[in-house]
A and B are shown apart, each in its own frame.
Chain A
Amino acid sequence: MTKPLSSPRRLPSSRGDGTFRAIVIGLSVVIILVFVLSVLLLARDSVPALQHFGLGFLTRTAWNPVTGNFGAAPMIAGTLVTSFAALIISVPLALASAIFVAEYAPKWLAGPVSYLVELLAAVPSVVYGLWALFALKPLIQAFQLSLYTRFPDLATRCSELHANNQNSFSCFFFPEAPVGLGLALAIIILTIMILPYTASVARDVIRLVPGDQREAMYALGATKWEVIRLAILPYARAGITGGVILALGRALGETLAVAMVIGNVPEFAKTIWGNTATMSSMIALQFGDAQATLHRSSIITLGLLLFVVSVIVNYGARLLIARLTPKGIQ
């Protein structure tokens, strides 16, 4: 910049370029800093809990703020069970809607339907929670009550078993009490919430399947369903898998809707209807009240765990989608 004679015409422009670059790159580095800082802060605040309980924190089942005894196992189980159950239910539904929009619907219908599916992703978590609490919970309660009146023998047997902390296959599906809240309601609401993520990725990759693939199958005399099953779905499989993993990432971190309906008891659920907690629901509900260092640190360790898992899951999903969508390579 101090050589005006050698390149007089480049001087003002290159100085502006330098400043502009510095601003743009500086602000972009902020993004990296946010990430690094998050990891460092969460790790630092997790130290007391990890020091006290060791890695056994992950497998311990107790969670008692009064006695200062903390373990993450019930919350890890709650997160995994709700997320995977929601995933299993939502994938076929999401695929159905994606196939419908891409292959079956006439043009005038495809647009509105995919718009509605995308709006499902725009509904805030708390609104899902409110709806679940006021509209779905009474229905679940009524259903649970009808189980009691329809199967009185099972009700007596299961209440004895549950009182003794035992279980059996049939009692696993029988509610302990007709409270409505619990695992089942959380799974239903999560299913609805993650549907649009799988659906929109699946729709996009199905649309990327080249037309000749379809035409070749039709030319062989295949029916529409055969074309979808044998030509389209295999071709789009990797991209769809990416969408499913993305939805899994959403499900793992979903907080308030689940916190509002799962009951938030830091224990394993005894039945499919039972009350339990997820990592994120526990953070949401206990962090504000956590006074003791160990309690607070245990909650932040749940946050760190959630952070690490989301990074891995999302990175994996993005890799899959990025590698497979551009030109639909195999």
Chain B
Amino acid sequence: MQATRSGERSLSAGRRGVNAGMAVIITLGTLLVIAPLLWIIIYLVTQGISSLNLDFFTRTPAPEGETGGGWLNAIVGSLIMLAIAAAVGVTVGVAGGVFLAEFPRHRLMPTVRMVSDVLAGIPAIVVGLVIYSLVVLHTGFSGFAGGLALGLLMIPIVVRTTEEVLKLVPLAVREAGMALGLPQWRVIVSIVLPAATSGIITGVMLALARVAGEAAPLLFTAFGNNLLNFNPGKAMSALPLQIYIGATSSYDENQRLAKAGSLLLILLILIASLLARAASRRR
């Protein structure tokens, strides 16, 4: 406001200059924000694509110092741990979302809302510490402990998206159910939840994409394992965990596979987020 009144003639050129200058700065700033993403994608594609071959998907890592091998163990481990995480995250998360959306006057409601919001910001590494003393201390490193840690990280995301989509289901739909004489739980289970399914699936996909890239909570829960292992009761590898181990290894071979693994992980996350976006747009 102050700038608009002082000296119309002389300032007008100055103001126009500032305006144009800021437009340039803002555009450059935006380019600077996007540049790293493009750089990362180009880097991973050029460095990783040649190693993302059949071996990568069908073999386990070669012994240290030898060449060849792949990351079948990490792919299988990721799938198993994500399944465990989904079981935990979807059960508790959807229930939490239903609670917040359908029982808004319950006296526990503000606490559940606050705690789930706050849990969303707890560093993943701290969740790893908690699962370590809760599970690993008693049963040892396992895919189960890793999946549980990832599941806890999924909960807040699933709670929030479930609550939001449930609130989008029109009140009239619920009233129609009630008018048919259905009890509240039937209305929720048979009418409200099915109406919100695609939204909930979107939330679950986003949550899975998010935790699929987490390595920190797996460091001392799943721990990692170079052998092909289908038993979640034992130590298990996962793509992000193996990327961490490979990238910080001094062997070229491990670094090469880590780049291919990163490319695969990024592609999976891109696909999941695109699918989630497509699903939410269709709704």
- Chain A contact residues, CB within 8 Å of chain B: 12-14, 16-17, 19-21, 23-32, 34-35, 37-38, 41-42, 44-45, 92-97, 99-101, 104, 113, 115-117, 119-120, 122-131, 133-135, 192, 195, 199, 220-226, 228, 230, 246, 249-250, 252-256, 260, 280, 283-284, 287-288, 300, 303, 306-307, 310-311, 313-315, 317-318
* 23 residue pairs from A and B, CB less than 8 Å apart: A24-B98, A28-B96, A38-B126, A96-B30, A99-B26, A100-B29, A123-B40, A124-B243, A125-B214, A126-B247, A128-B40, A131-B43, A135-B43, A223-B16, A230-B1, A253-B121, A256-B244, A287-B220, A288-B220, A288-B223, A303-B126, A306-B125, A306-B126
Asked if B23 lies at the interface with its beta carbon under 8 angstroms from chain A, I say yes
Specify which chain A residues have a CB less than 8 angstroms from the CB of B38 in the assembled complex. 116
List of B residues within 8 angstroms of A100 by Cβ: 26-27, 29-30
Mask, B206-235, CB within 8 Å of A = 1, is 000110111110011001000000000000
Q: Is B171's beta carbon under 8 Å from chain A?
A: no
The smallest C-beta distance from B61 to any residue of chain A, in angstroms, reads 17
Given contacts A223-B16, A314-B118, A28 and B25 within 8 Å (CB-CB) = no
Asked if A130 and B259 make an inter-chain contact with CB atoms under 8 angstroms apart, the answer reads yes
* B interface residues (Cβ-Cβ under 8 A, vs A): 1, 3-4, 15-16, 18-19, 22-23, 25-30, 32-34, 36-40, 43-44, 47, 91-92, 95-96, 98-100, 102-103, 106, 108, 111-112, 114-127, 129-130, 132-134, 152, 155, 159, 182-186, 188-189, 209-210, 212-216, 219-220, 223, 240, 243-244, 247-248, 255, 258-259, 262, 265-266, 269-270, 273, 277
| Cα(A314)–Cα(B43), bound, Å | 33
**By the criterion CB–CB under 8 Å, are A13 and B183 in contact?**
yes
Q: Which residues in A have their C-beta under 8 angstroms from that of B188?
A: 20
Across the interface, A283 reaches (CB within 8 A) one of B129, B209, B210, namely: B129
Do residues A96 and B26 form an inter-chain contact, with CB atoms below 8 A?
yes
Q: Which residues of chain B are within 8 angstroms of A17 by Cβ–Cβ distance?
A: 183-185
Q: Which residue of A lies closest to B48 (CB)?
A: A130
Partner of B262, one of A30, A97, A130, A221: A130
**What chain B residues lie within 8 Å of A35 (beta carbons)?**
115, 118-119
Decide if A134 touches B259 in the complex (CB within 8 Å): yes
Interface of B is mostly: helix
Q: Name which residue of chain A comes closest to B156, CB basis.
A: A31
For residue B28, which residue of chain A has the nearest CB? A96
B130 touches A41 (CB 8 A): yes
Chain B proximity of A206: nearest CB distance (Å): 12
Contact of A249 with B125 at beta-carbon distance under 8 Å, contacts A120-B37, A284-B216 already known: no
Report which of A93, A126, A288 forms a contact with B33, defined as CB distance below 8 A: A93
Number of A-B residue pairs with CB-CB distance less than 8 Å in the complex they form: 269
**Option from B118, B126, B215, B270 in Cβ contact (under 8 Å) with A256:** B215
Across the interface, do A116 and B37 meet the contact criterion of CB distance under 8 Å?
A: yes
Contacts A32-B115, A41-B133: A226 and B19 contacting too (C-beta < 8 A)?
A: yes
Which residues of B have CB within 8 Å of A246?
121
Q: Does B36 lie within 8 Å of A120, measured CB to CB?
A: yes
Given contacts A37-B130, A96-B26, A99-B26, contact A124 B259 (CB under 8 A): no
CA distance A306 to B91 in the complex (A): 28
CA distance A16 to B209 in the complex (A): 35
Q: Which residues of A contact B121 (CB under 8 A)?
A: 246, 249-250, 253, 310-311, 313-314, 317
Residue pair B129, A117 in contact (C-beta under 8 Å): no
Does A127 contact B99, Cβ atoms closer than 8 Å? no
B108 / chain A contacts, CB cutoff of 8 Å: 25, 28-29, 32
Give 15 A-B pairs besides A45-B133, A256-B216, A318-B118 with Cβ atoms closer than 8 angstroms.
A19-B185, A28-B100, A34-B119, A34-B155, A122-B210, A122-B213, A126-B243, A126-B262, A134-B47, A253-B123, A280-B123, A307-B122, A310-B118, A310-B123, A310-B126
